[in-house]
Amino acid sequence: MEKETLQRNIDRVDALDSVVRQLIKVLTPEQLEKFRFNTKALWHSAEAASTPETSETIQRTKIHAFKISGI
């Protein structure tokens, strides 16, 4: 992957991370609880449906998703 492409991808991920964190901050406590519940349920479903080939990728992505969402 070219250095410029890699840097654009990193910048994009950083921007998305920032936006998601800002959106989470404006949720009411009830909305935040529902958001976290739904996030856990979604990842549970993804893990259950994953193949051995995709399991490692799902685990890495899940760790980042939980970190961003404060779980």
Domain count of the fold of the chain: 1
- Position 59 scores a pLDDT of 95
Which residue is listed with tokens 């991808």? 9
Predicted confidence band of residue 52 (pLDDT cuts 50, 70, 90): very high
Predicted confidence band of residue 23 (pLDDT cuts 50, 70, 90): very high
Half-sphere exposure (CA, 13 Å, Cβ side) for 9? 6
pTM: 0.75
Predicted confidence band of residue 38 (pLDDT cuts 50, 70, 90): very high
Provide mean pLDDT across the span 29-58: 95
Q: What is the DSSP letter of 27?
A: S
CB 67, CB 19: distance < 8 Å: no
Tokens found for residue 40: 């856990």
CB 46, CB 58: distance < 8 Å: yes
Residues 6+ apart with CB under 8 A from 32: 24
Q: Which domain holds residue 49?
A: 3-69
